[in-house]
Amino acid sequence: MAQEDIFKKLIAHCKEYGFVFQSSEIYDGLGAVYDYGQNGVELKNNIKKYWWDSMVMLHENVVGLDSAIFMHPTIWKASGHVDAFNDPLIDNKDSKKRYRADVLIEEQLAKFEDKMNKEVAKAQKRFGDAFDEKQFRETNPRVLANQKKWDELHERFANALNDNDLAELKQIIIDQEIACPVSGTRNWTDVRQFNLMFGTEMGSTADGALKVYLRPETAQGIFVNYLNVQKTGRMKIPFGIAQIGKAFRNEIVARQFIFRMREFEQMEMQFFVRPGSELEWFDKWRETRMKWHRALGFGDDNYRFHEHEKLAHYANAAVDVEYKFPFGFKEVEGIHSRTDFDLSQHQEFSGKKIQYYDPELGKSYVPFVVETSIGVDRMFLQIMSASYFEEELEAANGKKDTRVVLKLPAPLAPVKLAVMPLVKKDGLPEKAREIIDDLKFDFNCQYDEKDSIGKRYRRQDAVGTPFCVTVDHQTLEDQTVTIRYRDTMQQERLPIADLKEVVSSQVNFKALFAKLK
Ligand code: ATP
């Protein structure tokens, strides 16, 4: 099945099984804003727990924070967001559709990459084990021709971004003959800058209301609390502050479901270090974060690093962790070396000294910062994309059957254990509830008695429940149940007394955390 079709199915699945709904759906929705349903909120909470505990619990020198969404408007002046938090936009005059000029060019670059990868895949098939990919890439004329096109375009693109040259961005789009996917024409407007911050007013207008912004990143809440946390927590450099919270961006293009939203949630950690040591810490955090992603077991080859074409005004190094979504490799997380830009700016704009006295060096300085920044929603989409499978099964009567299964990592699954009485009588429902009552303080359990056992299994597969337990008449006699495993569909008989241990060994976060060492 084509990757786009899989993605469409995944979106439909998210709605049908209570993971993600369009916001304000009964009013025809609101662009790029989404709500999380009964299963979505559980998965989202588990993602946040995985991140939070791996940062705050596993690192002695990282502590948490929860700062407000509204902040003093001067903060956004100091951070550069009022003047420079812009995306280059371009409209197609025929379809009236709006695009990000940089994204159009990135997609063109991805096309050249695709062509090269296809050549490699074809050759790999042909030569089998004897295939030397490096040599092939260095010598095959078709790969070399596309690599040349990629290199030239990439260089031109990076220069245009770094020079903030909007006319050149448009010229690249014209020269590359990039057409609007909707109208198919190349009838483009000029490229303009568009500020992504949402503004609103605080206080009554009669008194001269204050213009405030909905924060476009959570990081600034951490910077302006640096002194509070450092002093009250008696933190010694190097140390980090972690925060999970909502962020808002008036995104120009809102496509690809929850990949790019106007209201979303970020998990950010700012790590404060000695000036001069930031690139060493940058390397450390980039490895630590990649390990965190790979520990989920979705295949190491599906992740890669992507160096930025243009460094943000505050950064001296930046890299993205990209995942291979059904629509190509895309950013899930950014790791940035933000220098002392933010703290120095806040020192200047607030007039308050924001420094650290380093007892080992015997002097004070403005700390440098390495940031890790990941979107909860984007991570959610990554996990759903990686977990969604349609499997062909051999049914008992020899006919083909299919099942949709979410192979979510067990600790992240919304429901850990479904308990099902075989029939709705003979004391089986009561026994099933007794088991749930015993386990519900340990894991999220669900009781299900409707429809045939087969249908109930399918429902649980579709939401990613790793274990189903069936209570039958034998259970009443010998206190054993049938446990069925989601991924293998194997079943076995177990004493009820062993359930807690079997489920717990898979669903608690310990095994995941052990992989992070
Ligand atoms: P992009 O280039 O895709 O617009 P960015 O580089 O501006 O993203 P950052 O500012 O580095 O993104 O944000 C850090 C993380 O926050 C991203 O890696 C992503 O996971 C998440 N994120 C950013 N913007 C959005 C959005 N509009 N919707 C959902 N998640 C987002």
Per-residue confidence (pLDDT) for residue 344, from 0 to 100: 98
Among protein residues, the one whose CA lies closest to atom 22 of ligand 1: 375
Percent residues over pLDDT 70 in the chain: 99
Regarding the beta carbon of 270 and ligand 1, being less than 6 Å apart is answered no
Domains of the chain: 86-195 (3.30.40.230), 402-514 (3.40.50.800)
Taking the CA atoms of residue 332, residue 369, residue 219 and residue 374 in that order, the dihedral angle to the nearest 10 degrees is: 10
Q: Residue 5: pLDDT band by 50, 70, 90 thresholds?
A: confident
User: Which of 322, 338, 331, 358 is CA-nearest to residue 270?
Assistant: 338
- Specify the ligand 1 atom closest to the Cα of 87: 4
- What is the best residue among 266, 267, 337 to mutate for testing ligand 1's pocket, by most ligand atoms within 8 Å of CB? 266
Regarding the beta carbon of 377 and ligand 1, being less than 6 Å apart is answered yes
The pLDDT of 6-34, averaged and rounded, is: 96
Per-residue confidence (pLDDT) for residue 333, from 0 to 100: 98
Integer Cα distance of 169 and 175 in angstroms: 10
- What is the best residue among 79, 373, 379 to mutate for testing ligand 1's pocket, by most ligand atoms within 8 Å of CB? 373
Q: What is the pLDDT of residues 52-101, one digit of tens each?
A: 999 999 999 999 999 999 999 999 999 999 998 999 999 999 999 999 99
Residue 2 pLDDT > 80, yes or no? no
Buried b (16+ CB within 10 A) or exposed e, 285-321: bbebbbebbbbbebeeebbeeeebbbeeebbebbbbb
Conformation bin of residue 310: beta by default, left when phi > 0, alpha when psi is -120 to 50? beta
Q: Are 158 and 90 in contact (CB under 8 A)?
A: no
Supply the angle between the helices 141-162 and 166-175 in degrees, to the nearest 10: 160
Tell me, in angstroms, the distance from the centre of ligand 1 to residue 214's CA.
16
Tokens of 72: 């003093």
Q: Are 215 and 221 in contact (CB under 8 A)?
A: yes
Tell me, in angstroms, the distance from the centre of ligand 1 to residue 199's CA.
19
Characterize the bridge pairing of strands 62-65 and 239-248. Answer: parallel
Per-residue confidence (pLDDT) for residue 478, from 0 to 100: 97
Among protein residues, the one whose CA lies closest to atom 24 of ligand 1: 260
The CA-atom distances, in angstroms, between 115 and each of 124, 185, 268 are 14, 23, 35
Q: Which residue has the tokens 């109930």?
A: 456
Integer Cα distance of 131 and 270 in angstroms: 44
Tokens of 35: 């709500």
CB atoms within 10 A of CB 151: 11
Residue 369 pLDDT > 70, yes or no? yes
Q: What is the mean pLDDT of the chain?
A: 95
- What is the best residue among 198, 264, 292 to mutate for testing ligand 1's pocket, by most ligand atoms within 8 Å of CB? 264
Q: Are 464 and 387 in contact (CB under 8 A)?
A: yes
Q: Are 11 and 40 in contact (CB under 8 A)?
A: no
Q: What is the pLDDT of residues 290-333, one digit of tens each?
A: 999 999 999 999 999 999 878 888 899 999 999 999 989 999 99
Integer Cα distance of 416 and 508 in angstroms: 10
Integer Cα distance of 366 and 371 in angstroms: 16
Element (H, E) at 513: helix 510-514
Three-class DSSP category at 94: coil
Sign, Cα dihedral of 139, 145, 158, 256: negative
Report H helices in 53-165. 74-78, 81-84, 101-127, 133-139, 141-162
Among protein residues, the one whose CA lies closest to atom 23 of ligand 1: 375
Percent residues over pLDDT 90 in the chain: 90
Per-residue confidence (pLDDT) for residue 373, from 0 to 100: 98
Tell me, in angstroms, the distance from the centre of ligand 1 to residue 134's CA.
33
Residue 488 pLDDT > 90, yes or no? yes
Q: Residue 255: pLDDT band by 50, 70, 90 thresholds?
A: confident
Q: Which residue has the tokens 């030239």?
A: 152
Residue 266 pLDDT > 90, yes or no? yes
- What is the best residue among 243, 260, 305, 321 to mutate for testing ligand 1's pocket, by most ligand atoms within 8 Å of CB? 260
User: Which of 191, 186, 187 is CA-nearest to residue 167?
Assistant: 191
Residue 445 pLDDT > 90, yes or no? yes
- What is the best residue among 378, 379, 382, 385 to mutate for testing ligand 1's pocket, by most ligand atoms within 8 Å of CB? 378
Tell me, in angstroms, the distance from the centre of ligand 1 to residue 377's CA.
10
User: Which of 416, 415, 421 is CA-nearest to residue 433?
Assistant: 421
Among protein residues, the one whose CA lies closest to atom 19 of ligand 1: 375
Per-residue confidence (pLDDT) for residue 206, from 0 to 100: 66
Q: What is the pLDDT of residues 206-224, one digit of tens each?
A: 677 889 999 999 999 999 9
Regarding the beta carbon of 260 and ligand 1, being less than 6 Å apart is answered yes
- Specify the ligand 1 atom closest to the Cα of 262: 27
- Prior bond to 238 cis, omega within 30? yes
DSSP letter at 414 equals S
Regarding the beta carbon of 331 and ligand 1, being less than 6 Å apart is answered yes
Integer Cα distance of 103 and 157 in angstroms: 11
Q: Are 316 and 337 in contact (CB under 8 A)?
A: yes
Residue 284 pLDDT > 80, yes or no? yes
Integer Cα distance of 403 and 417 in angstroms: 19
Q: Cα–chain-centroid distance for residue 321? A: 10
The CA-atom distances, in angstroms, between 196 and each of 81, 193, 200, 221, 247 are 9, 10, 13, 18, 11
Tell me, in angstroms, the distance from the centre of ligand 1 to residue 302's CA.
19
Regarding the beta carbon of 470 and ligand 1, being less than 6 Å apart is answered no
Tell me, in angstroms, the distance from the centre of ligand 1 to residue 130's CA.
41
Element (H, E) at 319: strand 317-325
- Specify the ligand 1 atom closest to the Cα of 379: 20
Integer Cα distance of 111 and 365 in angstroms: 46
Regarding the beta carbon of 463 and ligand 1, being less than 6 Å apart is answered no
Per-residue confidence (pLDDT) for residue 332, from 0 to 100: 98
Name which residue leads in pLDDT, 130 or 151: 151
Task: Report the chain's C-alpha Rg in angstroms.
Answer: 26
Q: Residue 3: pLDDT band by 50, 70, 90 thresholds?
A: confident
Per-residue confidence (pLDDT) for residue 513, from 0 to 100: 96
Regarding the beta carbon of 354 and ligand 1, being less than 6 Å apart is answered no
Q: Residue 252: pLDDT band by 50, 70, 90 thresholds?
A: confident
Regarding the beta carbon of 322 and ligand 1, being less than 6 Å apart is answered no
- Specify the ligand 1 atom closest to the Cα of 251: 27
Q: Cα–chain-centroid distance for residue 384? A: 10
Among protein residues, the one whose CA lies closest to atom 4 of ligand 1: 260
Tell me, in angstroms, the distance from the centre of ligand 1 to residue 196's CA.
12
